[in-house]
């Protein structure tokens, strides 16, 4: 058994073995739902990350598209070109399988980045609010309360609309992804802030924090070095569930036509395109992207559920 | 015998009694852009206006002239430069005011004023004068034999109403202005405005005082107009019976609608051609990657781009055969159209690449394409397909698709480098196309010419068309102008649209080539 850690820090004997027997993994091994979900997420993420290697076509390169391949049913040869595609093609002759892989890349990238943004922002503001108290807390938490009264998707659409209005049209396509991240991230920081603030309020009166304060550490150091590690567990749980929600939020925005552009479609854009052909029998354009989105979001959600239980000592 | 006759008469009388209220729930992809009848020369805008306002002459559903607010018209006997219109008597506006010659003079002058989008139709008119209350004379700057066909979308407003409501000036849409006349109407037409939420819902009710109430079916007593941009939602609304009539059945759903009990699809070629325009007049264009030069200024580049478009593939896959590939920007209905020019567009990627290289753009360039997504049949899908086709000759296209309300001002303001436009020709004559799309953009003409093209020699020929009375000479000039338009590849034609109206079978109407259903002709049973 080898360990990747540098030799200067000798690993405790049987570390992997201990890890395997830890409570955390023990509960993972006992949860078939979590294991299946983990497998699905891993396969999908790997397929998305390595899409250029896995996908038979590059759907983002318009020069390689042949319109005559349009509407090819799954597994059947096209009537004009004779080419056949595993999951069929969409209205522009794009291979649905490749488009899903590339689209999932965008969905996952937007999801991860948006959650990261929301997490950094929410944790920071939550820490500040909880530790400093006073008017800082009042301002941050009241802003959070106000934002909570609007549905997140509306806030995201508002941010998207404003950002689209101020970006020059020629950069809109390139900027669309970043604007999506900003829109979803900014609409989602509140729950992080609220949870972190609550946990910080509990932690800041504990003895280790008082000790740190007595030895004269700065408030910033106390917040990041002492309190943060102890409030991270719930943050991880929220982050996982937020990831599923962010992916769905991105899909919703793109479905409504305010997200990823049709030339560089995400899963939501694909579903929007496919929905046009629901009545005419070309079901595969809608079905496969929708199925992928469902599998992705459901698996991440189930993983998040399991994580919440596994990390909560009271539920054991 | 007498008795049965009397019974029959009674029966007839009872069946002829006022029909019960019939609501026509009507949907199409996009809304009217404004209620101001002179602010936008655009199909859906005019179609809604036709229900409430009336011009002097209309085209019936088959496209033939029919007297509306004028009962008859003829050139003046002793002066070929004057057209005399006799107006219909006893017509009142919705607010009760009488329709008189003064209103015609006011409306025509309004349609010739600065912000009007209808100026090109009246460019030959130098003066309109009221002879008496019900006679009007149009003075043209030379004999204009086709003047009546220019008037079918020129609506008559009430002078007093416009003055009382600050609506004398035409709304400046490009400038973002909203006026009283843009949100209220007072016409002579068969329907009155009840309520309107732009892009959501417009409700009209029958005008009980309508002058033609005995001349037209007028079965529809209420119109509820709801624009539904999403194709699947629109067709679902028709399938579920939520609407009775949609003007644009998505091509992929034609079979589904036609095979549904109680629904019918009616099809006819439309008087409308779809094409791309390019900003070829500018020294440099903003949204490309070529510095200090405009690749579109080179006719070879424009020809190469046209050759890259595979019109047959668009017809087969995107339009599912519901279109006719075009080689010129005139529909076959139009005087000046020739089968030869219309068949001239050929796809040839290799030749196109060679032309690009010859023009010095062998490595291609990038450009932005502005495209509407709620105006023409599958507009966005056509643009998207073209992105792929142009990529094959090295032209990288960034597609920006948006609703027509944001798209059209880009063209009329000259703020787009590469755009999609469709053009119908209500006058059935090439002069209309030249006036709007080919003539240099001036105060008088060229308002929809987003290409920046300016050719004084051609302009002179276009202006001359209005007063050319020798039909053969005129047609020869039309042909000459078309030759230049074709040689310069001023536009990249795509196809002629085919109309598919879907309706509940109780709705009785035939497709009009103008795509302008006038509800007074509808029967409901």
Length of chain B: 525
Type and span of the H or E element at B70: strand B70-76
Residue A6 inside a domain? The answer is no
CB contacts, 8 Å: A172 with chain B: 400
pLDDT score of B63: 87
B446: CATH: 3.10.105.10
Is 60 exceeded by the pLDDT of residue A10?
A: no
Q: Which residue has the tokens 């469709």?
A: B422
Is the Cβ pair A276, B231 closer than 8 Å?
A: yes
- Among A174, A263, A270, pick the best mutation site for testing chain B contact (most B Cβ within 10 A): A263
Evaluate whether residue B183 is within a structural domain: yes
Q: Chain B: give the shortest CA distance to residue A175, in Å.
A: 12
B177 and B109 in a common domain = yes
pLDDT above 60 (res A3): no
With a pLDDT cut of 90, the percent of chain A lying above it is 47
Backbone Cα Rg of chain B = 24
Alpha carbon of residue B404 to chain centroid: 13
* Closest residue on chain A to B380 (Cα): A262
3-state SS assignment for residue B386: helix
CB count in 10 Å sphere of residue A316: 9
Identify which of B232, B398, B400 has the shortest CB distance to residue A279.
B232
Strands (E), B307-465: 323-325, 365-372, 395-402, 418-424
Which site among B287, B290, B385 would you substitute to test the A interface, given the most A Cβ atoms closer than 10 Å to its Cβ? B385
- Same domain for B315 and B217, yes or no, is no
Q: Contact at 8 Å (CB) between A271 and A211?
A: no
d(CA A97, CA A56): 8
Q: Is residue A34 part of a domain?
A: no
Angle of helix B471-488 relative to helix B456-465, nearest 10 degrees?
Answer: 150
Closest to B341 (Cα-Cα) out of B489, B202, B188? B489
Q: Cα–Cα distance between B397 and B382 in angstroms, integer?
A: 13
DSSP one-letter code for A62: G
Let me know if residue B249 belongs to a domain: no
Give tens-digit pLDDT for A259-315. 788 778 899 989 988 988 988 889 999 999 999 999 999 999 999 989 888 887 665
Give A95's contacts in chain B (Cβ within 8 Å).
Answer: none
Total structural domains in chain A?
A: 1
Is residue A241 one of the residues assigned to a domain?
Answer: yes
Identify all chain A residues contacting B398, using CB atoms and an 8 Å cutoff.
170, 173, 263
Q: Looking at the complex, report in whole angstroms how far the Cα of residue A60 sits from the nearest Cα belonging to chain B.
A: 10
List, in order, residues 6 or more apart from B14 with CB less than 8 Å away: none
B217-221 own/partner pairs: CB under 8 Å, 24+ apart: B217/B520, B217/B521, B217/B522, B217/B523, B218/B190, B218/B520, B219/B19, B219/B22, B219/B522, B219/B523, B219/B524, B219/B525, B220/B22, B220/B23, B220/B24, B220/B519, B220/B520, B220/B522, B220/B524, B221/B19, B221/B21, B221/B22, B221/B23
**Bridge partners of B368?**
B398
> Is B204 found in the same domain as B342?
no
Q: For residues A77 and A86, what is the distance between their CA atoms, to the nearest angstrom?
A: 10
Co-location of B291 and B363 in the same domain: yes
Average pLDDT over residues B166-183: 91
Residues of B with CB under 8 A from a CB of A: 230-232, 235-236, 239, 250, 252-253, 255-256, 286-287, 310, 313-314, 316-318, 368, 370, 380-381, 384-385, 387-392, 397-401
Residue by residue, DSSP assigns A86-100 as TT-B-TTS-BHHHHH
Assess whether pLDDT exceeds 80 at residue A7.
no
Question: What Cα–Cα distance (Å) separates residue B240 from each residue in B163, B235, B377?
Answer: 45, 9, 22
Whether A187 is covered by a domain: the verdict is yes
Question: Are B46 and B104 in the same domain?
Answer: yes
Q: Average pLDDT over chain B, rounded to whole? A: 92
Q: What is the DSSP letter of A72?
A: P
Contact B318 A91 (CB under 8 A): yes
Burial class of residue B17 in the structure, from the number of CB atoms within 10 Å of its CB (0-12 exposed, 13-18 middle, 19+ buried):
exposed
Query: In chain A, which residues have their Cβ closer than 8 Å to the Cβ of B290?
Result: none
- What token pair was written down for B451? 């290409």
Please check whether residues B89 and B225 belong to one and the same domain: yes
* pLDDT at residue B160, as a whole number: 96
- Pairwise CB contact (< 8 Å): A62 & B287: no
- Residue B157 pLDDT: 97
| Chain A environment of B232 (Cβ under 8 Å) | 275-279
Over range B438-457, report the average pLDDT: 94
Least CA distance to A168: which residue of chain B? B287
Q: Is B317–A71 a contact, with Cβ atoms under 8 angstroms apart? A: yes
Q: Is pLDDT of B37 > 70? A: yes
d(CA B463, CA B474): 11
**For residue B292, pLDDT beyond 90:** no
* Candidate from A93, A263, A275 with C-beta closest to B232: A275
Contacts of A265 in chain B (CB under 8 A): none
Burial of B62 (0-12, 13-18, 19+ CB in 10 A): exposed
Contact between B189 and B95 under an 8 Å Cβ cutoff? The reply is: no
Q: How far apart are CA A132 and CA A200, in angstroms?
A: 10
DSSP letter, residue A281 = T
* Residues of A engaging B, defined by a Cβ cutoff of 8 Å: 61-63, 65, 67-68, 70-71, 80, 91-93, 169-170, 172-173, 261-263, 275-280, 282
- Reading the block at residue B455, the tokens are 């050719």
Q: Cβ–Cβ of B387/A62 closer than 8 Å?
A: yes
d(CA A188, CA A180): 12
Which residue reads 């209620």 in tokens? B35
Q: For B394-430, write each residue's pLDDT tens digit.
A: 999 988 888 898 899 999 999 999 999 999 999 999 9
- For residues B107 and B119, what is the distance between their CA atoms, to the nearest angstrom? 12
| Cβ(B399)–Cβ(B297) below 8 Å | no
Of A9-13, B213-217, B293-297, B316-320, least confident by mean pLDDT is A9-13
pLDDT at A183 > cutoff 80? yes
User: For B142, which DSSP code?
Assistant: S
Question: Tell me, what's the pLDDT at A13?
Answer: 60
Segment B127-155 mean pLDDT: 94
Mind giving me the DSSP string for B279-343? --SSSS-TTBS-SSS-GGGSHHHHHHHHHH--HHHIIIIISTT-EEE-SSSS-TTSBT--HHHHT
Q: For residue B52, which of B264, B196, B171 has the smallest C-alpha distance?
A: B196
* C-alpha to C-alpha distance for B302 and B281, rounded to whole angstroms: 12
Please tell me which of the candidates B387, B388, B400 has its beta carbon nearest to residue A172.
B400
Residue A204 pLDDT more than 80?
Answer: yes
Chain B residue with the nearest C-alpha to that of A170: B287
> In A, which residues are within 8 Å of B387 by CB distance?
62, 263
- The domain in which residue B189 lies consists of 5-244+506-524
Q: Which CATH number is B185's domain given?
A: 3.40.190.10
Q: Which residues of B touch A80 (CB under 8 A)?
A: 316
Residue A258, classed as helix, strand or coil, is coil
Inform me whether the pLDDT recorded for B514 exceeds 60: yes
* Residues B494 and B514 reside in one and the same domain: no
Q: What are the chain B neighbours of A277 within 8 Å (beta carbons)?
A: 232, 252
Taking the CA of residue A271 and the nearest CA in chain B, the distance in Å comes to 12
Quick one: residue A50, left, alpha or beta (phi over 0 = left, psi -120 to 50 = alpha)?
alpha
pTM of this structure: 0.85
pLDDT at A202 over 60: yes
Q: Is B260 part of any domain? A: no
Residue A180 vs residues A251, A289, A293, B243, B370: alpha-carbon distances, Å: 10, 19, 17, 35, 22
In this structure, the answer to whether residues B317 and B223 fall within a common structural domain is no
Residues B487, B515 within the same domain: no
Residues present in chain A in total: 316
CB distance B495 to B325 below 8 Å: yes
DSSP B147-177: HHHH-TT-PPPPHHHHHHTT-SSPP-TTTT-
- Whether B256 maps to a domain, the answer reads no
- Count of beta carbons in the 10 Å neighbourhood of residue A169: 17
Residues B32 and B51: their CA atoms lie apart, in Å, by 12
Q: State CA A180 to chain mean position distance.
A: 12
Residues 6 or more apart in contact with residue A250 via CB below 8 angstroms: A106, A107, A110, A111, A114, A180, A184, A259, A260, A266, A267, A268
Task: Indicate if the pLDDT at residue B20 is higher than 70.
Answer: no
What's the structural domain count of chain B?
Answer: 2
In whole angstroms, give the CA distance from residue B357 to residue B142: 48
Q: Which of A168, A176, A280, A286 to mutate to test the interface with B (most CBs of B within 10 A)?
A: A280
- Residue pair B483/B318 in contact (Cβ under 8 Å)? The answer is no
Of all residues in chain B, the one with the smallest CA distance to A258 is B402
Domain shared by B211 and B92, yes or no: yes
pLDDT at A141: 93
Q: Do B252 and A275 touch (CB under 8 A)?
A: no
Contacts of A263 in chain B (CB under 8 A): 384, 387, 398-399
Q: Read off the pLDDT of each residue in A237-255 and give the average, rounded to a whole number.
A: 91
The alpha carbon of residue A257 is apart from the nearest alpha carbon of chain B, in Å, by 10
Nearest to A92 among B235, B250, B385 (CB): B385
The reply to whether residue B253 touches residue A282, judged by beta carbons under 8 angstroms, is no
Q: Looking at the structure, do residues B224 and B283 belong to the same domain, yes or no?
A: no
Comparing CA positions, the residue from A26, A14, A20 lying closest to residue A316 is: A26
- The residues pairing with B268 across neighbouring beta strands, listed in sequence order, are B499
Contact A279 B252 (CB under 8 A): yes
Residue B205 buriedness (CB in 10 A; 0-12 / 13-18 / 19+): middle
Q: Distance between CA B503 and CA B510 in Å, rounded?
A: 11
Answer yes or no: is pLDDT of B10 > 70: no
**Nearest Cβ partner for B368 among A169, A275, A282:** A169
Q: Does residue B45 sit within a domain?
A: yes
- Name which residue leads in pLDDT, B197 or B467: B197
CA A134 to chain centre: 33
CATH number at residue A287: 1.10.3720.10
Write the pLDDT tens digit of every residue in B60-78.
988 899 999 999 999 999 9
Domain that holds residue A95: 87-315
B259 assigned to some structural domain: no
Task: Say how many Å lie between the first and final Cα of chain A, rounded.
Answer: 31
Quote the pLDDT of residue A37: 94
Question: What is the rounded distance in angstroms from the CA atom of residue B99 to the CA atom of residue B105?
Answer: 11
Whether B318 sits inside 8 A of A67 (CB atoms) is yes
How far apart are the C-alpha atoms of A80 and A64, rounded to whole Å?
17
User: Looking at the structure, do residues B65 and B122 belong to the same domain, yes or no?
Assistant: yes
In terms of CA atoms, which chain B residue is nearest residue A172? B400
> B524 Cβ partners below 8 Å, 6+ apart?
B19, B22, B24, B219, B220, B506, B507, B508
**Taking Cα atoms as reference points, which of A228, A156, A165, A227 lies closest to residue A190?**
A156
Q: A52 lies in a domain?
A: no
Q: What residues contact B284, with CB distance under 8 A and at least 6 apart?
A: B290, B291, B292, B293, B294
């Amino acid at each position: 058994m080898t360990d990747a850690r540098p030799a200067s820090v000798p690993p405790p004997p049987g570390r992997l073995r201990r890890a395997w027997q830890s409570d955390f993994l023990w509960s993972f091994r006992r949860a078939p739902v979590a294991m299946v979900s983990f497998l699905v997420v891993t396969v999908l993420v790997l397929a998305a990350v390595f899409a250029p290697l896995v996908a038979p076509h590059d759907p983002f390169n318009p020069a390689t598209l042949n319109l005559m391949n349009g509407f090819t049913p799954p597994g059947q040869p096209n009537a004009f070109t004779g080419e056949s595609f595993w999951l069929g093609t969409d209205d522009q002759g794009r291979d649905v399988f490749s488009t899903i892989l590339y689209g999932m890349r965008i969905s996952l990238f937007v999801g991860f980045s948006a959650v990261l943004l929301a997490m950094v922002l929410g944790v920071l503001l939550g820490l500040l609010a909880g530790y400093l108290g006073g008017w800082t807390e009042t301002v941050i938490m009241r802003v959070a309360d106000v934002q909570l009264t609007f549905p997140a998707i509306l806030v995201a659409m508002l941010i998207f609309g404003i950002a689209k209005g101020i970006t020059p049209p020629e950069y809109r396509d390139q900027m669309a992804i970043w604007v999506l991240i900003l829109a979803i991230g900014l609409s989602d920081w509140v729950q992080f802030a609220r949870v972190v603030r609550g946990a910080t309020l509990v932690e800041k009166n504990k003895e280790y924090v008082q000790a740190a304060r007595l030895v004269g550490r700065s408030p910033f150091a106390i917040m990041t070095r002492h309190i943060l590690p102890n409030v991270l567990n719930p943050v991880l749980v929220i982050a996982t569930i937020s990831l599923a929600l962010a992916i769905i939020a991105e899909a919703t925005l793109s479905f409504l036509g305010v997200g990823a552009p049709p030339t560089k479609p995400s899963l939501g854009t694909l579903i929007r395109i496919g929905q046009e052909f629901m009545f005419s029998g070309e079901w595969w354009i809608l079905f496969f992207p929708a199925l992928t989105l469902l599998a992705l979001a459901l698996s991440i959600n189930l993983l998040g559920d399991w994580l919440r239980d596994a990390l909560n000592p009271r539920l054991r | 015998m007498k008795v049965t006759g009397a019974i029959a008469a009674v029966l007839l009388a009872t069946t002829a009694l006022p029909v019960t209220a019939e609501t026509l729930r009507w949907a199409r992809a996009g809304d009217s852009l404004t209620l101001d009848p002179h602010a936008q020369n655009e199909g859906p805008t005019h179609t809604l206006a036709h229900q409430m306002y009336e011009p002097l002459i209309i085209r019936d559903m088959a496209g033939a002239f029919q007297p509306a607010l004028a009962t008859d018209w003829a050139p003046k006997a002793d002066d070929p430069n004057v057209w005399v219109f006799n107006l219909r008597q006893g017509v009142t506006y919705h607010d009760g005011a009488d329709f008189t010659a003064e209103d015609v003079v006011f409306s025509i002058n309004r349609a010739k004023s600065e912000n009007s989008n209808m100026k090109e139709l009246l460019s030959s008119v130098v003066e309109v004068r009221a002879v008496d209350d019900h006679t009007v004379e149009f003075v043209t700057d030379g004999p204009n034999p086709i003047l009546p066909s220019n008037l079918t979308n020129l609506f008559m407003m009430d002078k007093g109403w416009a003055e009382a409501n600050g609506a004398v000036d035409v709304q400046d849409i490009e400038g973002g202005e909203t006026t009283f006349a843009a949100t209220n109407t007072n016409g002579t037409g068969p329907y009155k405005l009840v309520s309107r939420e732009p892009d959501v819902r417009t409700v009209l009710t029958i005008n009980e005082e309508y002058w033609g109430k005995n001349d037209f079916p007028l079965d529809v007593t209420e119109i509820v107009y709801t624009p539904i941009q999403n194709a699947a939602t629109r067709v679902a609304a028709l399938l579920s019976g939520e609407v009775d009539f949609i003007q644009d059945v998505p091509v992929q759903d034609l079979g589904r609608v036609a095979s549904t009990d109680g629904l019918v699809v009616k099809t006819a070629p439309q008087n409308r051609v779809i094409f791309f325009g390019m900003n070829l007049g500018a020294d440099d264009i903003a949204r490309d990657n070529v510095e200090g030069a405009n690749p579109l200024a080179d006719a070879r580049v424009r020809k190469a781009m046209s050759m890259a478009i595979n019109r047959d593939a668009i017809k087969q896959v995107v339009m599912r055969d519901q279109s006719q590939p075009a080689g010129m920007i005139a529909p076959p209905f139009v005087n000046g159209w020739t089968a030869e020019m219309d068949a001239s567009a050929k796809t040839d990627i290799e030749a196109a690449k060679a032309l690009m290289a010859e023009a010095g753009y062998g490595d291609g360039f990038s450009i932005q394409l502005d495209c509407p997504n709620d105006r023409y049949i599958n507009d966005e899908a056509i643009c998207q397909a073209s992105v792929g086709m142009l990529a094959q000759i090295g032209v990288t296209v960034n597609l920006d698709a948006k609703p027509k309300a944001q798209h059209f001002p880009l063209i009329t303001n000259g703020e787009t480098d590469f755009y999609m436009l469709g053009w119908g020709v209500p006058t059935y004559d090439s002069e209309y196309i030249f006036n709007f799309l080919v003539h240099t953009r001036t105060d008088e003409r060229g308002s929809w010419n987003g290409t920046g093209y300016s050719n004084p020699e051609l302009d002179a020929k276009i202006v001359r068309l209005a007063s050319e009375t020798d039909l053969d000479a005129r047609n020869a000039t039309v042909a000459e102008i078309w030759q230049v338009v074709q040689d310069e590849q001023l536009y990249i034609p795509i196809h002629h649209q085919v109309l598919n109206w879907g309706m509940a079978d109780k709705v009785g109407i035939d497709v009009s080539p103008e795509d302008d259903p006038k509800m007074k002709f509808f029967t409901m049973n």
